[in-house]
Amino acid sequence: MSSMTSDPRARRALYRMMLRIRAFENAAEAASQGGVSAYGQQAGTAAKVRGPLHLSTGQEAVPAGVCAHLDASDYLTSTHRGHGHTLAKGADLTRMMCELFGKASGFNGGKGGSMHIADFSVGMLGANGVVAAGLPIAVGAAHAQKLLKAARQGGPGSGAGEAITVCFFGDGAINRGPFLEALNWARVYRLPVLFVCEDNRWSATTSSGPMTAGDGASARAASLDIAATRVDGNDVFAVHAVAAGLVAQVRAGSGPRLLHALTYRVKGHVSVDPAAYRDPQELAAALDTDPIARARATLLADGVSAAELDALQDEAQVEVDEALAAADAAPWPAPEAAFGDVQDVGAGQWI
């Protein structure tokens, strides 16, 4: 039995979201390197995106499949590789490109850059440059959701039927302390949080498998009495189907759940990393499972025309090209903005 949703509009929306993420990542990669992007548009001779840029190329099926079930009232925390999560949660593509360019019209006024994207208007609480740091933030957000519901109802509450928090993290994060602390707290207090491990097999420049004891994220979640489900993270329709059930369970007040999505990081750790430490045959095998190519083949077999799918790709590229132009033309932050968003110690009471 196919795991694909029967709604044609939903299928096209999933495919379109993956195309938007891929087009954004390709453009951002080119803009961080200078030169010409994978699609051929000129990004300029000098890098327009400064600082570390961590790409999610090849992992598009996970955020697309999961976030399709979320509303703006739901919270989301991300990682240093968070462009796809941000777009899938509904954030504006142009404003994110402006943030990468360091421009005043970016989400964080150009101060956050790639690793600190946030858009509270759609519930995106922020990317994070510290591995595993998003986990306790997500648990805190989910606990707040539960307490607010209890306050409205005048009782302890279970979080049932209310907004939830989704926490994306990589396989490298499960070997850090915040993973255990966050999952333990979420289980003890039965919090409305869905943990999503994007298992892309690499922790920076080290293969994560040999560095991880046991059977990975799902086994560790199960040891804490948190139900965990594995899924092929390069099959967007499978991710979508599994995430639907898990999100429904969390919304119903069943407590935390974990989705262990097996995918692959096809780019280096950062956009200027050629990843020469990786076995070329391993990369070639991973490219054969490209989530966009797989979704396209499925849709073609299901009767969607190649022309329609090509048109969706063209639309995504036009959107990204327009965002590039807008980011390039956007103003830089005013010099005095450097003193904004800094902690205010008040009227000297600490002196």
pLDDT of residue 1: 31
- Per-residue pLDDT tens for 99-113? 999 999 999 999 999
Residue 320 within any structural domain of the chain: yes
Report residue 230: phi and psi, to 5°: -90, 150
Average pLDDT over residues 323-348: 85
Residue 200 within any structural domain of the chain: yes
Residue whose C-alpha is closest to residue 203's, from 79, 98, 298 = 79
Q: Is the pLDDT of residue 45 over 90?
A: no
Residue 310 within any structural domain of the chain: yes
272-284: string of b/e by CB count within 10 Å (b at 16+)? ebeeeebeeeebe
Residue 2 within any structural domain of the chain: no
pLDDT of residue 140: 98
pLDDT of residue 348: 59
Residue 334 within any structural domain of the chain: no
Percent residues over pLDDT 90 in the chain: 83
Average pLDDT over residues 235-262: 97
Answer yes or no: are the C-beta atoms of 48 and 31 closer than 8 Å: yes
Q: How many CB atoms lie within 10 A of CB 351?
A: 6
CATH assignment at residue 246: 3.40.50.970
In the chain, the number of structural domains is 1
Cα distance between residue 315 and residue 297, in whole Å: 19
Query: 212 lies in which domain range?
Result: 8-327
- Residue 152 pLDDT class (50, 70, 90 cuts): confident
- Per-residue pLDDT tens for 180-228? 999 999 999 999 999 999 999 999 999 999 999 999 999 999 999 999 9
pLDDT of residue 338: 86
pTM above 0.85, yes or no: yes
Q: What's the mean pLDDT when you consider all of the chain?
A: 91
pLDDT of residue 98: 97
- Per-residue pLDDT tens for 297-324? 999 999 999 999 999 999 999 999 999 9
Cα distance between residue 150 and residue 317, in whole Å: 45
Residue 344 within any structural domain of the chain: no
Residue 126 within any structural domain of the chain: yes
Cα separations (Å) of 163 from 148, 156, 159?
A: 11, 16, 8
Comparing 36-50, 130-144, 236-250, 256-270, the range with the smallest average pLDDT is: 36-50
Higher pLDDT, 340 or 345: 340
pLDDT of residue 39: 40
Higher pLDDT, 36 or 47: 47
Residue 338 within any structural domain of the chain: no
- Per-residue pLDDT tens for 322-331? 999 999 999 9
